[in-house]
Structure 1
Amino acid sequence: MTPLTETEILSHLAQDPVMARIIAETEAPKIFNDYADDVYLALLESIVSQQISVKAADAIFARFRALFPDGYPHAEALLLKTTDELRSAGLSFQKIKYLQSVAEFSLTNPIDRAHLDVMTDEEIVQYLIPIKGVGRWTVEMLLMFVLNRQDVFPIDDLVIRQRAMRAYGDQTAELSGKALYKVLHQIADNWRPYRTTACRYLWRWKPTKE
């Protein structure tokens, strides 16, 4: 089956009138893949960036990589670093444990594209979440931005939920918890099989004040 062009994908999403308006109001999201399909490095970066600003995360990750002669934290080399050495980059004790967990996992479980590409999205989620510090949201970001999966709906992302609730207020008003999640999933079902693109627009969309 020939993949759809971006225009065809947007035409498909625009069958949902609300999403059509969001697309019309929003500049096309730029697609970046900073890791050139390097799942291992992307997981390390995602852990470093947890719960801190982008600017702080970039600075810490750069210092972390500078600890290694070639600028790449190969698993074996990472596991040989002392806690003090890793702390010098600005990493917390907890994040150090998480980074070590990624390294340990990668030494016994392949995480290259050839191994992951044959798996479904959910299989990849279940394969990677045993790593300490890696949850569903982290893997979903990996699916969207590194593995280029087309139909990911990261409902646990706060911005996605808030923007969807704003856009579909008549359907989500006064809902919370499981009831809200159920309705949001139903809304997103209209975007299949291109929920990733729809979410890229939701992230970039800036709703005007009424």
Structure 2
Amino acid sequence: MQPTDTALVHLAKDPIMARLISETASPKIFNDYAGDVYLALLESIVSQQISVKAADAIFARFRNLFPDNYPEANALLLKTTDELRSAGLSFQKIKYLQSVAEFSLNNLIDRAHLDVMTDEEIVQYLLPIKGVGRWTVEMLLMFVLDRPDIFPIDDLVIRQRMILAYSEQTSGLTGKPLYKVLHEIAAAWRPHRTTASRYLWRWKPIV
């Protein structure tokens, strides 16, 4: 989902966000999963706490373990720990991947089922999966399900960029008071907080 004129006009009502947008190239968003929530969840777990380059390599080796490079849930659960370890996966990540597979066999996670849910309903629906936290689901909402009004406040880059851009409002604040102010700032961006967040990620502040 590319930024729309409507979203940009709305966000520009915030002078600081307007300046940030003017300084930043339009984010180009590519959805590699075409709405495949199951595959996106597997990739998000593989990517946790490692570099993008390492994650891409491990996920490619993981997919190569399966016919057509697709880790169907039943096939994934039949793989031995040694087979999965051969792709470079840790024991913990193997358990998390198996949790995704088990969840998908017992719960619907296709677009038709999720698209009728609210953002928060999807968060609560997927949180029982081991290894999946709120941030993971918010990334799924933004980049796979194309939800327009997601504000991932737990993302470190988002917080750091907002603190820099809105230094007058955030100066000296930490913890809950900081989160409260950041939520108040972002409230003005509704219903286009996803677009605002994408600009924050791409913005290169001069410090």
TM-score between the two structures when normalised by the length of structure 2? 0.98
> Residue 124 of structure 2: SS of its match in structure 1?
helix
Cross-structure match for 2:205 = 207
Q: d(CA) in 1 for partners of 2:108 and 2:11?
A: 35
Comparing 84-93 and 7-16, the one that deviates more: 7-16
Q: CA deviation at 1:208?
A: 1.3
* Paired position in structure 2 for 1:176: 174
RMSD: 0.7
How far apart are 1:58 and its partner, in Å?
A: 0.2
Q: Which residues of structure 1 form unaligned runs of 5+?
A: none
Structure-to-structure mapping, 1:16-165, within 5 angstroms: 16-165=14-163
Counterpart of 1:102 in structure 2: which amino acid?
Answer: V
Matched, 1:194 2:192: yes
Residue 69 (structure 1) shift? 1.7
Letter of the 1:136 partner, please give it. R
After superposition, the C-alpha distances for 1:2-29 in whole angstroms (9 at most, x for unaligned) are xxx7112101000000000000000000
AA matched with 2:22: A
- For 1:170 and 1:84, the matched residues in 2 are separated by 53
Displacement, 1:39? Answer: 0.1
Distance 1:69 1:117 in 2: 29
Q: Deviations over 1:132-178 (max 9, x none)?
A: 00000000000000000000000000000000000000000010101
Q: Is the partner of 1:40 in helix, strand or coil?
A: helix
Paired letter, 1:33 = N
Measured after TM superposition, the shift of residue 129 of structure 1 is 0.5
Runs of 4+ in structure 1 over 2 Å off = none
TM-score (norm. length: structure 1): 0.97
Q: Which amino acid aligns with 1:115?
A: H
| Structure 2 residue ranges without an equivalent (≥5) | none
Query: Matched residues in 2 for 1:68 and 1:8: separation?
Result: 43
Identity across matched positions, percent = 81
